[in-house]
Amino acid sequence: MGQIRSSYLGICMRTNVAIIGGGPSGLLLSQLLHKSGIDSVVLERKTRDYVLGRIRAGVLEQGLVSLLEEAGCADRLHAEGFLHDGTLISYGDTSFRLDFAENTGTSVVVYGQTELTRDLYDAREKADGKILYNVEDVAIHDLENDAPCVSFVHDGVQGKLDCDFIAGCDGFHGVSRKTMPESVRKEYEKVYPFGWLGILSETPPVNDELIYATSDRGFALCSMRNETLSRYYIQCEMSDDPGNWSDEAFWDELKRRIPETFAEQLVTGPSIEKSIAPLRSFVTEPMRWGRLFLCGDAAHIVPPTGAKGLNTAASDVHYLYRGLTEYYATGSEKGIDDYSEKALSRVWKAERFSWWFSSLMHRFPDQSEFDHKMQIAELEFLNSNRAAQKSMAENYVGLPY
């Protein structure tokens, strides 16, 4: 645990790894480091309840499940999560099932990001882990020498956290990435010309597995959190507003985009959350600068189509945690020196898959008839070709770390 020396001048703390951001990346890293006897302090800008209120990812790769097991945080996931051995893909009047288990020998687990984050918070609290909520004005200093530190304000009191390393787990809008000098940072970005309108409803899912659907009206996804909680999305215009969509209008539009048999079975009800998410591909290189390591959404974003955001954050945590463990156990800097290259190699493959699947399943405003024919040809190839199915299944369940 970080030692705190508090005085009227401010808070002074010391730890091995200062972690900025208490989302899934920061919490998982903190818990895994704790299991290896390495101290960390998490600085989170919001409250615990605010973080848990964010409705986001829900499909976990086996790699993330294994990391949660290693962190001692997988009991509830195993009890309440749902193994999915495949998914349904539909285009126009045609649909087919992509079998993950048959093609790869593995599955994915449906378990909400909110629940996973709650489990990690509980584990950190049980282990007396140090998390400061509601921190403001976080700034990173002295990255290029052996004694970096983070300054912040907590409850109106100025704080300073001395450390060996800093993990920037503060998401796309955090401070960590922007602390890296522009001269060393290269950013790659693609913004898609549409968004996803999503609702959460206390209704049973329309199918046991996810349904990815594309039609002349655009993309739709039928997803779920559990047997009584469903998550549905439809492609919408980027300039759209959730307020423009009554629940009834949403359900009507969803029904027009999914296979008729499912549209007829769909149980509708009031939405308990409704929001629009933009779709973006983004990567920053490198993911390390001096003693700072970027992790998760702080370094990269994918459109949610391939369910890769949270899972790619987890693979970063894996590489960083292994590198830091090696450093503290042996003094070797090899793992941390290799971090950026190893993490980016996997990140770019997840970016490719998410871009490919997004390009295949959405209607683009400037799309020509030729472009549309290409999408249909590709879907028919995927429907009928075993090698194409295997390739997609391998990417969907997650490439090895």
Ligand X SMILES: Cc1cc2nc3c(=O)[nH]c(=O)nc-3n(C[C@H](O)[C@H](O)[C@H](O)COP(=O)(O)OP(=O)(O)OC[C@H]3O[C@@H](n4cnc5c(N)ncnc54)[C@H](O)[C@@H]3O)c2cc1C
Residues with catalytic roles: 84, 212, 304, 308, 396
Closest separation in Å from C-beta 102 to ligand X: 23
Binding residues (CB under 6 A) for ligand X: these are: 20-26, 43-46, 51, 56-58, 113, 135, 138, 169-171, 173-175, 277, 296-297, 304, 307-311, 313
Nearer to ligand X (CB atom), residue 224 or residue 360: 224
Nearer to ligand X (CB atom), residue 225 or residue 257: 225
Closest separation in Å from C-beta 152 to ligand X: 7
Nearer to ligand X (CB atom), residue 218 or residue 304: 304
Closest separation in Å from C-beta 173 to ligand X: 6
Rounded Cα distance between 302 and 246, Å, is 28
Nearer to ligand X (CB atom), residue 135 or residue 324: 135
Closest separation in Å from C-beta 236 to ligand X: 13
Type of residue found at 244:
N
Two structure tokens written together for 79? 């009890």
Secondary structure (H, E, C), the chain: CCEEEEECCEEEEECCEEEECCCHHHHHHHHHHHHCCCCEEEECCCCHHHHHCCCCCCEECHHHHHHHHHCCCCHHHHHHCEEECEEEEEECCEEEEEEHHHHHCCCEEECCHHHHHHHHHHHHHHCCCEEECCCEEEEEECCCCCCCEEEEEECCEEEEEECCEEEECCCCCCCHHHHCCCCCCEEEEEEEEEEEEEEEECCCCCCCCCEEEEECCEEEEEEEEECCEEEEEEEECCCCCHHHCCHHHHHHHHHHHCCHHHHHHCCCCCEEEEEEEEEEEEEEECCEECCEEECHHHCEECCHHHCCHHHHHHHHHHHHHHHHHHHHHHCCCHHHHHHHHHHHHHHHHHHHHHHHHHHHHCCCCCCCHHHHHHHHHHHHHHHHCHHHHHHHHHHHHCCCC
Closest separation in Å from C-beta 23 to ligand X: 2
Closest separation in Å from C-beta 18 to ligand X: 11
Nearer to ligand X (CB atom), residue 190 or residue 376: 190
Nearer to ligand X (CB atom), residue 51 or residue 74: 51
